[in-house]
Structure 1
């Protein structure tokens, strides 16, 4: 089932405004559970967590920056 353009646009906005900040707080808390790793390891963890959130949501964000194809 494909989402309409307007639905994907609203959902992507909700994800970026509400979901992403919550994900960032969760990622910082997860890294905070461990003893302070080296800067390189910590950077790799944050980069990995920063990329992982986007893969399941790729279909929602695809084509959002372009004009509405239904218009």
Structure 2
């Protein structure tokens, strides 16, 4: 069963049995005012088989693409 509105729903299962579910209203969305994110950024290393990994802790005021988040101020 997949619904998007609160209410009481009845479903018949494949064996013929009927089940009823009562679903409450969905809560309001939560919008965080700040996102603290820890990421690992990978870059080409000094040689063809080397990779440089940089750990970053970022404080973001909104969710955004990784390209723009890279330039965000590190949290501390």
State the TM-score bracket (shorter-chain normalisation).
under 0.3
Bigger share in helix: 1
Larger radius of gyration: 2
Bigger share in strand: 2
- TM-score (norm. length: structure 1): 0.22
Structure possessing the higher relative contact order (Cα contacts under 8 Å, 6 or more residues apart)? 1
